[in-house]
Amino acid sequence: MIGFEIHTRKRAVSAAVVEQFRRIPVANISDCMSRMTAGGARLRPMHDGTVLAGPALTVRCRPGDNLMVHKALDLAVPGDVIVVDAGGDLTNAIIGEIMTTYAASRGIAGIVINGAIRDAGTIRRNPFPVYAAGITHRGPYKDGPGEINCTIALDGMTIEPGDLIVGDEDGLLCVPYDQTDALYQAASAKHAAEEQTMAQIAAGKLDTSWVDARLKAQGCVMPSQG
C-alpha cells in the first residue's frame, strides 16, 4: 500500500566514515556544503550534548503516530540513527523515556524527530542523542500509516536511507552517501584552518586586514586617514 510500507535499505555509510566525521564540528561541514543544507533551526538537541553521528534509518509517519517508529527500533542495527519525519507537528509526542532507553540498549546511535518528544527531563540528563522540534506531555497514537527506509526531507534537507547524519549543539546535517569522501577532506581542512585562527588569536597575531579589503571591494565609503 502506498504510504504504508517497509522498504529495504540498500546501502549505508561505514563505521569508519562515521568516526571520521564525529571529530569535525557540524558548522565546519556545513560551510563546506555552501551553507545551503540544514535540518531546520527547530530541531535542537534534547540530550546532554553528546555528538551524534551514524547512517540514517529513515521513517515517515503520520503526525502524532509512532507505530512505524516502534518498528524502526526493532529493524535498526547498532550505530544507526533513526530519523523520523513526523510532519513537524507538536501536538503529540512521538517518543519518550521508554523508547529512548530501548534504543540505547540496542546500540542505536540516536534519534531525530521532526516533531515532539516527552519525558524531556530524563532525556536531557542522558547522553543518548535525541533531536526534536519540541516537547509535549501528550502521548502518541499507534495506528499508522507510515514508511521505513524511504526518502524524507526536513526543512528542505533531503535524507536518503544510509546517508550520514551528524549533529552537535549547533544542529543537524545530512551528508549524502556519495559525497562523504570529498566533504571529509574539505571539512577537515576547514577545521584545521579554524584551529590555526584560534591559535593566532591566543598569540595576539590575528590578521584582520581582510575586513577593510572586503569593505573597499564592496564599495563602502571609508573615513579618510590622517
Give pLDDT, residue 226. Answer: 54
For residue 159, say whether it is annotated as part of any ligand binding site: no
Residue 225 has pLDDT above 70, yes or no: no
How crowded is residue 21: how many other Cβ atoms within 10 Å of its Cβ? 23
Q: Is 118 annotated as a binding residue?
A: yes
- Give phi and psi for 153, each to the nearest 5: -140, 130
pLDDT at 37: 86
**Strands (E) located in the chain:** 4-6, 44-45, 52-61, 81-85, 93-95, 110-117, 130-135, 146-148, 152-154, 157-159, 164-168, 171-175
> Is residue 96 pLDDT above 80, yes or no?
yes
Tell me, yes or no, if the pTM score tops 0.85: yes
Q: What is the pLDDT of residues 53-76, one digit of tens each?
A: 999 999 999 999 999 999 999 999
C-alpha to C-alpha distance for 8 and 146, rounded to whole angstroms: 14
Q: Tell me, what's the pLDDT at 191?
A: 97
Residue 110, annotated as binding a ligand: no
Q: Which residue has the cell 565546519?
A: 28
Distance CA 194, CA 196 (A): 5
Q: 97 among the known binding-site residues? A: yes
Angle at 36 between CA 30 and CA 39, to 5 degrees: 70
Q: Domains in the chain and their CATH numbers? A: 5-177 (3.50.30.40)
Rounded to the nearest integer, the mean pLDDT of the chain is 96
Query: Is 98 annotated among the ligand-binding residues?
Result: yes
Query: What does the pLDDT read at residue 1?
Result: 74
